[in-house]
Amino acid sequence: MWWTRQIASNCQRLSAQLQWQLRCFSTPAEQTLGIIGVPFAKGQSKQGVELAPDLLRESKLRDVLKNSDERLVIRDYGNLQYAVDETLLQQQRQHYHHIRNYADFMACNLALIEQVQQMLKQNAQFLTIGGDHAIGFGSVAGHLQHTPNLSLVWIDAHADINLHSTSQSGNIHGMPVSFLLQQLRATWQHAALDKIAPNCLPKDQLVYIGLRDIDPYEAFILNKFGIRYYAMDSVDRVGVPKIIEMTLDALNPLNKIHVSFDIDALDSHVAPSTGTAVRGGLTLREGISIVEALRDTKRVQGMDLVEINPKLGSEHDVRTTVDSGLEILKSMFGYRRSGARDWNNLDTGILGREL
C-alpha cells in the first residue's frame, strides 16, 4: 500500500534526523564553559574583592577545572569592562542617590547581561567570577534573557533581597535579588528594568540555602511572597540531604538552573577572607554535597562564585578561602568524590589480561 511505504519512509527520515541530533549532542564541543571575571567591588565598602578573578586564575583555576573533567573545553573571556553613561548618573542623582554607586552597579550589570548572553551563544555553560554579589543581578538577568525557563539556587549567608527603601547600609550587594523578581520590580521603577532585562524570575523558581543573617524587612519579603529559603536552622533540623531533596522538588524539572554561590555561605573557618563573614555556616563538605547534587541534574547552565576578598585576613586565610572556592567549582564542573565514571580514555591494556 502506498501509505505504508510513505509512513516507513517518514520513519526512516525521522530516525536519521534523530541520530544526527544525538551525534551533535554527544560531541565534546557540548562541554564548553565560558568564564568571565567581574572585578566589581562597589556593591559594598571593602576593597579587595575585585582581585578575586585574577587570583583564582593564578591559583590554577583552569587546571583545577580541567582535572575535574578532561572533556571540558574552557574559554576565558577575561575581565568585564564597563563605562558609566550620563543617563545612569542622572538616574542615580534623581532617584537612587542614597544607594552607593548605583550608576556603576547598573553600568557593570548592563555589560554583564550582554556578556552572559554572548557566552551562552558560544558555550554550553558559563561561570561568572566576582567581585561582590551585586553582579548576581547581571549574571542571572543575562541568563534569563537567553533562557527564560530558569530556576535559581542562591547559596549565601544573606538573602540579598533588600530594596532601596529597606537597605540599612546602602550597599547594593545586599539587593541584587530584588531586581530579578517580577513582584519587586515596581520598587525599582526608575531603573527601566523592563527594557534592559524583560524576563523575570518566577518567585517559585528561587530557592535559598545557607541563610543566617536576614534583615527584618528581608524576612518580611521572603515570607510575604512565600519564597523558599532553607536557613541554617533548617539545615540543622533536617540535614543537607533533605534540603537538597526539597530544593530539587521545588524546581521545575524542565528548567535550566543558575547557581549563585556566595563564598560566605560557607562557615568562616573554611572561608575567612570575605567581606561579611558569618559564623555557623555550611561546612565545606555540605557545600560540596549541595553543588554535586545540583550538577548531577545536568541542568546547571550558569554559576557565580562571588565575595572572595584577598585583602581580608592573613595569607593563610586567603589561601584557605581560595582553596574552598576551587573545591566548590571543581565539584560543580565534574569532579566526583566517588571516582570518575567515564573510562573511555583509560588505557586498559596496562591492566594485563586478568582484568
The Cα–Cα gap between 301 and 244 comes to 18
At 192 the three-state DSSP class reads coil
Taking the C-alpha atoms of residue 76 and residue 326, their distance in angstroms, rounded to an integer, is: 16
Q: Which stretch binds Mn ion (CB under 5 A): 35-43, 151-159, 209-217, 343-351?
A: 151-159
The C-alpha atoms of residue 53 and residue 42 are separated, in whole angstroms, by 15
Residue with C-alpha cell 539545615? 235
Residue 72 or 201 with smaller CB distance to Mn ion: 201
State how far the Cα of 312 lies from the Cα of 272, in Å rounded to an integer: 8
C-alpha cell at 42: 562597589
Q: SS3 for 174?
A: helix
The nearest distance, CB 134 to Mn ion, in angstroms, is 9
- Shortest CA distance to 155 belongs to which of 56, 254, 246, 230? 230
Give min distance, CB of 9 to Mn ion, in A: 57
Q: What are phi and psi of 261, to 5 degrees?
A: -110, 110
CB of 288 to Mn ion, least distance (A): 19
Q: Is 218 in the site for Mn ion (CB under 5 A)?
A: no
Cβ 343 to Mn ion, closest distance in Å?
39
Binds Mn ion by CB under 5 A, chosen from 50, 104, 160, 317: 160
Neighbours of 284 (CB within 10 A): 18
Assess 133 for contact with Mn ion (CB under 5 A): yes
Q: Which is nearer to Mn ion, 160 or 286 (CB)?
A: 160
The least distance separating Mn ion from the CB of residue 195, rounded to whole angstroms, comes to 26
Q: Nearest approach, Cβ of 291 to Mn ion (angstroms)?
A: 16
73-79 and 32-38 beta bridge pairing: parallel
* Cβ distance to Mn ion smaller for residue 113 or 157: 157
For the CB of residue 178, give the shortest distance to Mn ion in the complex, in Å: 13
**CB nearer Mn ion, residue 164 or residue 335:** 164
Burial class of residue 2, CB neighbours in 10 A (0-12, 13-18, 19+): exposed
Choose which of 156, 267, 286, 304 interacts with Mn ion (CB under 5 A).
156
In terms of CB distance, is 147 or 260 closer to Mn ion?
260
d(CA 125, CA 259): 12
According to the binding rule CB under 5 A, does residue 304 interact with Mn ion? no
| Contacts (CB under 5 A) with Mn ion, residues 255-274 | 262
| H-helix or E-strand spanning residue 159 | none
Cβ closer to Mn ion: 166 or 252? 166
- Nearest alpha-carbon partner for 161 in 141, 176, 139: 176
Q: In terms of CB distance, is 72 or 135 closer to Mn ion?
A: 135
* Site size toward Mn ion, by CB under 5 A: 4
Compute the distance between CA of residue 181 and CA of residue 208 in angstroms, rounded to an integer: 14
Nearer to Mn ion, 262 or 267 (CB): 262
| Minimum distance, C-beta of residue 132 to Mn ion, in the bound complex (Å) | 8
Q: Where along the sequence are the contacts to Mn ion (CB under 5 A)?
A: 133, 156, 160, 262
